Every structure is written in C-alpha cells, then in structure tokens.
Amino acid sequence: MGGSATPSDCKTVITRAEFEKIANAVQPNMPAATKKQFANRYVTVLVLAQKAHELGLDHGADFDQQMYLLRLQILAKLVSEQMQKQAMSISDGDIENYYREHGSDYKAISFDRLYVPKQKQVDTSSQKPNDPDAQKKREESEGAMKELADKLRARAAAGEDFGKLQQEAYDAAGSKQKATNTRTDNVRKANIPPTDVSIFDLKKGGVSPVFADPAGFMIYKVEEITDLPVSGVHDEIARTLQNEKMKSSFESLQNSAKTTLDDAYFAAPAPPTLRNPGETPAAETPAPGKK
C-alpha cells in the first residue's frame, strides 16, 4: 500500500495455502460447506481489524490486557488438545485389564420384575379437603403395601409365577390394570436404577430383596446372565479409559497449582439496609408481654 493510496486502492490477496492454514487452525478438516461461511466471516474480521488499526485501538493498556488474556486462552486450548491426544493412547492390554476388573459392568441380564404400588388407589370423591389425617392415611397405606411386597417376594423366591403375583399386587392396590409380560431381556447395569443394581450380583434364579424405588416396590428374579465379549465392548471401554485418563491429568495439573483465594475479597456483599449511613441499629423493642 503506497503512502498516497486510499483505502479503495488497497488490495489484500489470500492464497489457497494461506486460507487452508488459517481454517485448519480454527477447525482441523473443516467441511467444505463451512469454508465459504468462514471465509465471509474472516473478511469481516479483516475489515474491522484494519479500521481498529486506523483508529489506534491496537495500542494501549486495554489492548495489551486483552491480548494477554487471549494468549492464555489459546495456550490453555493447545495444552488441552495435547492432553486429549495423550489420553487417546489406550492399549488392548489396558482394555482387557479394565474388562476383567469391571466384569459386572459388561454383563447383560434377563429378569422377571414384580412391581408393587406404594399406595392403594382410593376414591377421592368422599375425601374432605385439607384432611388432617391425610398424611397418616398415606403412611398406613404405604406400610400395608410394603408388607404385601414382602409376602409376594417370599412367594416369588419359592417359585410362584411372577405374572400371577403381579396381578395380585394390582388387585390389592385397587388397580384395574391387568398383568401382562413381566420379563425383560438383555439389560445392562447402566440401565438399572442405582438403588437396584445389586441384582447384578445375583446368580441365575436368584430373587432380589424388595427395593423401595420412587415409582414403587420392586422385586427381581434373574433368569439369564450373558457375559458380553470384550470385542463387543472394546470401543466403549476405550472411551471410558480415555475420559478417566483425561480427567486424572487435568485434576493433577490443577492440584499442582496449589491455588489460594482471598476469601475476604471474594466475600458476598452484605445485604442492603434501610438505615442511613452511620446510623446505629435501634434497640429491639420487646414484644408485648416480654421483658
């Protein structure tokens, strides 16, 4: 650009190689459909940056501080990407060891499940609004259903049919629902409520204790146990190990900083008051009848 040139005389040419280098720095292997949108945004940034330079906005304490923070963010991003690459190095031996140590996570079980509602269904048309005994009645109803669940569990352990027991549970709860299929096949541990995962410790034919789930009382009987082959869960375990490795590296790096913050500086401000500045709190007036 010559000294007598006007902005309209200026011309900036970006070669294919230069553009690819910039695009890859923003997003490696950027899709072709995205590149044109990025090119238009890049032109806008160039125009705005040139105007900022003409106005002298690329000098001064504010610019320097923002550049310092931007540099830190770029460095943090680069080291995070490096840590992610290192975490990707998982060997087949690592995967097989994890598979052996977490065998129950890689089983699928088929089971019969018995559901007992926690409350009996009642006719609310005759209930009084704001019944003072409502809570007591709910507790009594839940206690009766828990007692029923314990009895049904004992019968299930003795070998009675789950479909028959399920219908009895519905009938006792006053439900018109009909028992259908109680069987569920090939369920992984991650798909079982946390309160009930101990069913994966049962052997084939084992009956669980009564679980008090939020939805109701649950009883399981394990019918089949299938060990998933390591080849079928290879990629799943690899992702788990990669996430654990990344998390461990990040936590180790954070802990090495031994950061201490000034609690007094970061303390929340005191709540607003209606007193005038400098005014001392008035003595509390005792309530009538108190001294």
Q: How many CB atoms lie within 10 A of CB 120?
A: 17
How large a percentage of the chain has pLDDT more than 70?
A: 88
Q: Is residue 66 part of a domain?
A: no
| 152 and 210 both lie in a single domain | yes
Q: Is 187 helix (H, G, I), strand (E, B) or coil?
A: strand
Q: Is residue 181 part of a domain?
A: yes
User: What CATH number should be reported for the domain holding residue 165?
Assistant: 3.10.50.40
Give how many domains the chain has, as a whole number: 2
Q: Is residue 87 part of a domain?
A: no
Q: Is residue 216 part of a domain?
A: yes
Model confidence over 77-90: pLDDT tens digits?
A: 999 999 999 999 99
Tell me the angle at which helices 16-26 and 32-54 cross, rounded to the nearest 10 degrees: 100
Q: Is the pLDDT of residue 4 over 50?
A: no
| 116 and 224 both lie in a single domain | yes
Could you tell me the residue range of the domain that residue 164 belongs to?
107-120+135-228
Q: Is 222 helix (H, G, I), strand (E, B) or coil?
A: strand
228, 257, 272 — which closes off a domain? 228
- Number of residues written out for the chain: 291
Q: Which of 199, 146, 192 is nearest to 173 (CA)?
A: 146
Least confident of 5-9, 30-34, 144-148: 5-9
| 147 and 204 both lie in a single domain | yes
Q: Is residue 233 part of a domain?
A: no
Structure tokens at 43: 């032109």
Question: 287: pLDDT confidence band, cut at 50, 70 and 90?
Answer: low
| 35 and 111 both lie in a single domain | no
Is 123 exposed, middle or buried (CB count within 10 Å of its CB: 0-12, 13-18, 19+)? exposed
Structure tokens at 28: 């490696």
Model confidence over 161-192: pLDDT tens digits?
A: 999 999 999 999 999 999 989 999 999 999 99
Tell me the angle at which helices 234-257 and 92-101 cross, rounded to the nearest 10 degrees: 90
Q: Is residue 83 part of a domain?
A: no
8-state DSSP, 56: T
- Predicted local confidence at residue 226, as pLDDT: 95
CA distances from 275 to 267, 268, 282, 284 (A): 22, 20, 10, 14
8-state DSSP, 134: H
pTM greater than 0.75 (yes/no): no
Q: Is residue 162 part of a domain?
A: yes
